[in-house]
Structure 1
Amino acid sequence: MLLQGLKVVEMSTWVAGPSCAAVLADWGAEVIKVESPMGDVTRAFFANPENGQSPIYANENRGKKGVVLDTTKPEGRAALKKLLKDADIFVTNTRPGSLKKIGLDYETLKPEFPKLIYAAVTGFGLTGPWANEGGFDITAFWARSGVARAMIPTDQEPFASRPGFGDHVTAITTVAGILAAVHERHSTGKGRLVETSLLRAGSYAISWDLSLQLYYGEVQTNGPRDERPVAISGFFRTKDDRHLVIVPKNVNCFTNVMIAIDRPEVVADPRFEIPMLDMDVVREARAICDEGFARFTLEEIGERLNELDVAWGPLGTLAEHAASERAELAGCFVELEDGLGGRFRAPATPVRFPEGAPPVGAAAPQLGQHTREVLEAAGLTPEEIAAVI
Structure 2
Amino acid sequence: MHQPMAGVKMVEVAQFTFTPAAGGVLAEWGADVIKVEHAERGDAQRGMVNHPKDGTFHPIMDHPNRGKRSIGLDLENPAGYEVLLELLKDADIFLTNFLPDARRRLRLEVEDIRKANPDIIYVRGSAHGQRGPWAEKGGYDGSSFWCRMGSAWGVTPPDSPRVISMPGGAYGDSMGGMTIAGGIAAALYGRATTGETSVIDVSLMSVGAWAFALDLSNAALNGPEKEPISINQMMANAPLNPTVGHFRTSDGRWINFTMIQPFRYFADVCRHLGLDELIDDERFSTAAKLMANATEAARYITDAIAQQPFAYWTKHLQTLEGPWAPVQGPLDILDDPQMEANGYIRPVLDSEGKERRLVANPVQFDAQPPTIDRGPLFAEHTDDLLRELGHSEDEILDLKIAGAAT
Same fold (TM over 0.5): yes
Q: Which residue of 2 aligns with 1:39?
A: 42
Q: Which residue of 1 aligns with 2:204?
A: 198
After the TM superposition, which residues 339-354 of structure 1 pair with which residues of structure 2 at under 5 Å, given as runs?
339-354=351-366
Cα distance in 2, alignment partners of residues 49 and 265 from structure 1: 57
- Secondary structure at the aligned position of 1:104 is classed as coil
Amino acid at match of 2:81: R
Amino acid at match of 1:364: G
Amino acid at match of 1:16: F
**CA contact under 8 A between 1:42 and 1:54: conserved in structure 2?**
no
Give, in angstroms, the shift of residue 228 of structure 1. 3.7
Give, in angstroms, the shift of residue 10 of structure 1. 0.9
Residue 73 in structure 1 maps to residue 83 in structure 2? no
- Secondary structure at the aligned position of 1:313 is classed as strand
Change (3 A) 1:160 1:240: closer
Pick one of 155, 158, 161 that aligns with 1:154.
158
Give, in angstroms, the shift of residue 63 of structure 1. 1.3
Residue 365 in structure 1 maps to residue 376 in structure 2? yes
**CA contact under 8 A between 2:283 and 2:290: conserved in structure 1?**
no
Change (3 A) 1:133 1:275: farther
Cα distance in 1, alignment partners of residues 119 and 46 from structure 2: 32
Q: How many residues align?
A: 387
Structure 1 range deviating more: 327-336 or 172-181: 327-336
Residue 120 in structure 1 maps to residue 124 in structure 2? yes
Q: Which runs of 5+ in 1 are unaligned?
A: none
Cα distance in 2, alignment partners of residues 236 and 177 from structure 1: 39
Q: Which residue of 2 aligns with 1:269?
A: 282
Structure 1 range deviating more: 148-157 or 301-310: 301-310
Structure 1 range deviating more: 270-279 or 228-237: 270-279
Q: Which runs of 5+ in 2 are unaligned?
A: none
Pick one of 15, 36, 59 that aligns with 2:17.
15
Change (3 A) 1:327 1:144: same
Cα distance in 1, alignment partners of residues 110 and 368 from structure 2: 35
Structure 1 range deviating more: 40-49 or 17-26: 40-49
Change (3 A) 1:336 1:307: closer
Structure 1 range deviating more: 186-195 or 299-308: 299-308
Residue 184 in structure 1 maps to residue 190 in structure 2? yes
Q: Which residue of 2 aligns with 1:245?
A: 256
Amino acid at match of 2:399: I
TM-score of the superposed pair, with normalisation by structure 1? 0.91
**CA contact under 8 A between 1:244 and 1:312: conserved in structure 2?**
yes
After the TM superposition, which residues 74-153 of structure 1 pair with which residues of structure 2 at under 5 Å, given as runs?
74-153=78-157
Pick one of 145, 164, 167 that aligns with 2:170.
164
Amino acid at match of 1:241: G
Cα distance in 2, alignment partners of residues 276 and 145 from structure 1: 38
Cα distance in 1, alignment partners of residues 319 and 143 from structure 2: 42
Change (3 A) 1:366 1:302: closer
Identity of aligned residues (%): 29
After the TM superposition, which residues 286-305 of structure 1 pair with which residues of structure 2 at under 5 Å, given as runs?
286-302=298-314, 305=317
Amino acid at match of 1:188: T
Per-residue Cα deviation, 1:139-183 (whole angstroms, up to 9, x for no partner): 111110001211233333322102211111111110110011101
- CA root-mean-square deviation: 2.5
Amino acid at match of 1:231: P
TM-score of the superposed pair, with normalisation by structure 2? 0.87
Q: Which residue of 2 aligns with 1:323?
A: 335
Per-residue Cα deviation, 1:18-59 (whole angstroms, up to 9, x for no partner): 111011111111111011120113223135525343222122
Cα distance in 2, alignment partners of residues 325 and 117 from structure 1: 40
Change (3 A) 1:276 1:100: farther
**CA contact under 8 A between 2:347 and 2:358: conserved in structure 1?**
yes
